[in-house]
Structure formats: C-alpha cells, structure tokens
Amino acid sequence: MAKLDEIKEILNTLRIALSITVGIIVVLIGSIINRYDLGRVDEIFWTAVSVCFVLIFFVLVIVNKLSKKTKEIKDL
C-alpha cells in the first residue's frame, strides 16, 4: 500500500509540474506574439522562442514519466 501511495504522490507532482509548465508556455507565446505585432523582434523575442522550445521538450519528458508511472500502478 505504501508503494501505491508513493506512486500516486509522484503522479500528482508530475501533473502539477505539467500544469505550471503549460501555463508558462501560454504566457510566453502570448508575449512572443505581442512583441512580434509591435515589431520588436530582438534578443528578448528570440530568447522567449528558445525558452518555449525547451519547455515543450520538458512537457514531453513529463508526459513520458506520467505514462511510465501510470503503467507502474497497473503492474501493482
């Protein structure tokens, strides 16, 4: 039973991390679009684009871990 509770806690933590990461991506994309519309394609614009790609990769890693942990519960 303790193993199951531990896995559930890890899943909840991963879900929270996923939610926060997606929220950050949404805000960054909004600011990228705003800067593009204003014609401010500068270092901040390209940094935000780069950070978005890194965060999208991070989302894929989190989804992969969520999948593995869900399968681990199935095996118990």
User: What is the average pLDDT across 49-60?
Assistant: 97
56: helix, coil or strand?
A: helix
| pLDDT, tens digit, 9 for 90 and up, residues 1-36 | 788 889 999 999 999 999 999 999 999 999 999 999
Does residue 76 carry a pLDDT above 80? no
Nearest to 16 by CA among 27, 8, 6, 28: 8
Average confidence score pLDDT of the chain: 94
Asked whether 61 and 14 are in contact (CB, 8 A), the reply is no
Say which range, 44-48, 61-65, 71-75, has the weakest mean pLDDT.
71-75
